[in-house]
Amino acid sequence: MSRRERARPARGGYRPARIPVATAAAPPALAKTAWRQAEARVTLHRDAGAGHRWLELAMPRAFPLPGAGQFVQLLLEAPAPVLLPRPMSVALVRRAAAGPVLGFLYAPVGDGTRALAALDVDDRVLVLGPLGRGFPLEVEGVPVLIAGGRGVAPLLFAAETLERQGRRCEFLFGARDAAHLVALAETRRRLDRMGGRLHLATDDGSRGVHGTVLELLDRIAPHLPAPRVIHACGPHPMLAAIARWGLRHSVPTFLAMESIMACGTGVCRGCPLPRSESERRRLSRARAPLPSLYGNPEFAMCCTDGPVFAAHALDWERLG
């Protein structure tokens, strides 16, 4: 298959995959995705502070545009220290005449991401995407975006999408200390431009509220008009706590999950997340079978059924 063929968009253009509305009678329909594999060129690669790097990749013109919360698989050209691609959330989509530019905020933590960190401008990477289901930003309510650490990047992308809908967000950002509020200056600058409100929390009190983002949420939520909707991205224990908060307060809550991934497309069954009891019951009552790429009634595949899940869909006791 030629490079041009690989990058050709779906007929009718790309529509970001959404979390379908679940009913007792029907399991989720297979989301319409239009992923492609394409060769990308590194156009910017710099230190982002707090042990993170910022990477920008120029994509072929026809590469489908990812939505906020979706991810791509980045595969290094041979010879590379790792065989499999590495999943990375899309943190920025910028349209340019030559084709879209995608941005990523990442931490070099192991062989794959350290090899990624060694790439120079003009080096090539294979990109598979856009993958998975992103944040359902059409859900009504005052958007409350909650970021832990590097979770800030995909949520800034979400904030910009919401801004285009004319919706201003409350943006809660937490880390263990001020030094770990990665890309804080840029976060502030972009939110100022959008009219979003930034609220900070650190575990040691060195910046913002002294405590976790959950404590910050407890303080802010009573001052926000209903309805509210929460979109969150960060470490799993933080997401589990936010999911329980959303369920307790009947606030629609959506969490961007991670898992170790190989294929990113639902085939290898390598990224299972346990479904909640209510979801297991619902799926076992459903008349039509669950699309196999989504896993089974016990386990969701993070890459296809997610990575963004509604709070009620997962078993937080087994995850948190």
* Positions at the binding site: 86-89, 112-113, 263, 268, 271, 303
Q: Which is nearer to ligand FAD, 24 or 267 (CB)?
A: 267
Q: Residue 86 binds which one of ligand FAD, ligand FES, none, with CB within 5 to 8 A depending on kind? A: ligand FAD
204 Cβ contact partners less than 8 Å away, ≥ 6 residues apart: 176, 177, 210
Contact 67, 129 (CB under 8 A): no
| Pairwise CA distance, residues 201 & 278, whole Å | 33
- Pairing relationship of beta strands 308-310 and 253-256 according to DSSP bridges: antiparallel
Q: Which is nearer to ligand FES, 59 or 271 (CB)?
A: 271
Minimum CB–partner distance for residue 68 and ligand FAD (Å): 12
311 Cβ contact partners less than 8 Å away, ≥ 6 residues apart: 242, 243, 244, 246, 247, 252, 253, 254, 255
- 262 lies in the site for ligand FES, by CB under 6 A: yes
| Pairwise CA distance, residues 149 & 138, whole Å | 25
Q: Which is nearer to ligand FES, 52 or 86 (CB)?
A: 86
Contact 106, 195 (CB under 8 A): no
Residue 146's SS3 state is strand
Helix segments in 52-97, DSSP class H: none
- 126 lies in the site for ligand FES, by CB under 6 A: no
Q: Which positions make up the binding site for [2Fe-2S] cluster?
A: 263, 268, 271, 303
- 296 lies in the site for ligand FES, by CB under 6 A: no
For Cα atoms 258, 216, 150, give the angle at the middle one, nearest 5 degrees: 30
Q: Residue 307 binds which one of ligand FES, ligand FAD, none, with CB within 5 to 8 A depending on kind? A: ligand FAD
Minimum CB–partner distance for residue 35 and ligand FES (Å): 13
Sheet order of strands, 101-106 included? 86-89, 71-76, 124-131, 36-49, 52-58, 101-106, 92-94
Binding ligand FES (rule: CB under 6 A), the pick from 174, 208, 266, 306 is 266
Span interacting with ligand FES, options 90-98, 150-158, 250-258, 301-309, rule CB under 6 A: 301-309
- 132 lies in the site for ligand FES, by CB under 6 A: no
Q: Which is nearer to ligand FES, 66 or 196 (CB)?
A: 66
Q: Residue 268 binds which one of ligand FAD, ligand FES, none, with CB within 5 to 8 A depending on kind? A: ligand FES
Return the CA Rg of the chain: 19
- 75 lies in the site for ligand FES, by CB under 6 A: no
Q: Which residues bind to ligand FES, rule: CB under 6 A?
A: 261-264, 266-271, 301-303
